[in-house]
Structure 1
Amino acid sequence: MSGRTRPVLVYDGDCGICTKCVSFVERHLSKDIDIVAWQHADLPSLRLSQAECEEAVQWVSSSGAVSSAHIAIGELLKDSGALWWPFGLLLQTPPFRWVASVAYKWIAKNRDRLPGGTPACAMPAHLRPGATRPAADQPEPPAA
């Protein structure tokens, strides 16, 4: 048991699309979750890496189980009550899971070109304005 009492949704705070989606979640879905941008999260305590968070949205259940991408969205929806639960289940059930996986990957790859996307969405996190640390698998930038 992780000691956590509420699940946590971890998203990319530099992404306009992610931020808009989180606003929707805050207005319409479960209030019994914590939502945090990975740039401001204590990733080790959530058992997440920066690379995982750069790749996809993450869901950490109250038991500590981690899900990502479309599966994380499905867990969020299932945890948001009777109205949203069926949609969460569909996202995790074939053939809908396969379609959701392809759609999630396409949106993530093209998020800088979609409505609400920003130029920062196209950049690796360690190169974005205000970046404080390079990704673990990226070399340090050369000294000027």
Structure 2
Amino acid sequence: MTTTEGRGPVLVFDGDCAFCSSSVEFLQRHVAPGIATVPWQFSDLAPAERDRAQREVLLLHPDGRRVWGGVDAIAVLLLESPAWAPAGWALRRAPGRAVGAAVYRWVARHRHRMPGGTPACRVGGPT
């Protein structure tokens, strides 16, 4: 796992995906200024987490014992920002969590079609 001991959480994302990189820049500017980020391609994640990071964004807790993925990672980040906390709260509870998870999966499958997306952003097979 990427070492986070003594620091804040670390956001792990797909550095080859322009849409993901732009989304992380938005999060750093508007939601979580100062959040540490690392592309999974340059991380020291364990093999299982590395595989997971290819499919969804990961948020690594500073103590290294907790990993949130996908919409849960986004919700935890949102909860840390006073302006965005209500959205984070909604994503952690029903029915917001189910809706958020469905939207996250749809965006992840179609990220190569999103603004700034390229063929390198495609996850899995054809959509």
TM range (shorter): 0.7 to 0.9
In structure 2, how many angstroms separate the alpha carbons of the residues matched to 1:102 and 1:73? 13
* Deviation digits for residues 82-129 of structure 1 (CA, Å, limit 9, x no counterpart): 1111111111111010011111111111111222211111266xxxxx
**CA offset at residue 32 of structure 1?**
4.1
The structure showing larger relative contact order (alpha-carbon pairs under 8 Å, at least 6 residues apart) is: 2
2:32 counterpart residue number: 30
- AA aligned to 1:51 is D
> Residue 35 of structure 1: SS of its match in structure 2?
strand
- Kept in 1, the 8 Å contact 2:108–2:123? The answer is no
- Kept in 1, the 8 Å contact 2:10–2:38? The answer is yes
Runs of 4+ with >3 A deviation: none
Larger Rg: 1
In structure 2, how many angstroms separate the alpha carbons of the residues matched to 1:96 and 1:15? 26
**CA offset at residue 48 of structure 1?**
5.7
Structure 2 runs not aligned, ≥5 long: none
Structure 1 runs not aligned, ≥5 long: 125-144
1:68 matched to 2:64? The reply is: no
Pair 43,4 (structure 1): closer, same or farther in 2 beyond 3 Å: farther
1:7 counterpart residue number: 9
1:111 counterpart residue number: 111
In structure 2, how many angstroms separate the alpha carbons of the residues matched to 1:88 and 1:123? 25
TM superposition score normalised by structure 2: 0.85
Pair 48,78 (structure 1): closer, same or farther in 2 beyond 3 Å: farther
Pair 48,63 (structure 1): closer, same or farther in 2 beyond 3 Å: farther
Number of corresponding residues? 120
TM superposition score normalised by structure 1: 0.75
Pair 123,102 (structure 1): closer, same or farther in 2 beyond 3 Å: closer
> Residue 11 of structure 2: SS of its match in structure 1?
strand
| RMSD of aligned alpha carbons | 1.8
